[in-house]
Amino acid sequence: MSKLSFTIAYASGEDIEYPARELNTHSPHTRGWQSARFCEFPQEIGLALTRPARLTQVQLLSHQSKIATRIELYVGDGPSYEQANWRRLGYLSLDNNKRSEYQARELKSVYIDCQGAYLKLLVHRCYVNKHNIFNQVGIVATNLLGEFLGGGSQEGLDPNHPLGGSLPPPTIGGGAGVGGGAGARGGVMDD
């Protein structure tokens, strides 16, 4: 099981100081994504894998006070993120973090077994607390684990991938449809 590279393909909204592209890289200086202030829910974040892959695990690190009540996961395949056929994997629930006085970040690891080129996160309403005065949600980091299909290097985009060998810049705003689907396997995923 290897870490799979991806880029942000879509974000329904973002705080200008915490753009979705922050999820593309991991470093001590990465601040993660946050929704716009007083946004509508759910918020959508779309990830495009650099090549189609078999996904086995999704890891999400939540912000310590800008916490979503739940996050739905969908896997998609198709010529583009906007035209992908989606299958619902399920959802995960996050703790309100009151016990840690909003100091600890929650890491959710979900074990799945599916194939696709895209992952959609539908991030639902936030928990209300005194540290989240603008009713935002935030994801500090995302990791996707699994294996790229067809073997070969983990890096670079396959020229046969629907994106045609290059990744477009992320789309902000608008909307992509949500599909139905089967439940997730293992982990803490709920149907």
Structural contact between residues 81 and 118, judged by C-beta atoms closer than 8 angstroms: yes
The 10s digit of each residue's pLDDT in 7-39 is 999 999 999 999 999 999 988 888 999 999 999
Structural contact between residues 32 and 25, judged by C-beta atoms closer than 8 angstroms: no
The 10s digit of each residue's pLDDT in 71-83 is 999 999 999 999 9
What pLDDT, on a 0 to 100 scale, did the predictor assign at position 30? Answer: 87
What pLDDT, on a 0 to 100 scale, did the predictor assign at position 191? Answer: 53
What pLDDT, on a 0 to 100 scale, did the predictor assign at position 157? Answer: 43
Q: What is the CA radius of gyration of the chain?
A: 16
Cα–Cα distance measured from residue 110 to residue 100, given in angstroms and rounded to the nearest whole number: 22
pTM of the entire predicted model: 0.80
What pLDDT, on a 0 to 100 scale, did the predictor assign at position 151? Answer: 66
Cα–Cα distance measured from residue 155 to residue 157, given in angstroms and rounded to the nearest whole number: 7
Task: Label residue 190 by pLDDT band (50, 70, 90).
Answer: low
Token pair listed for 92: 């995960």
Asked if residue 150 has pLDDT above 50, the reply is: yes
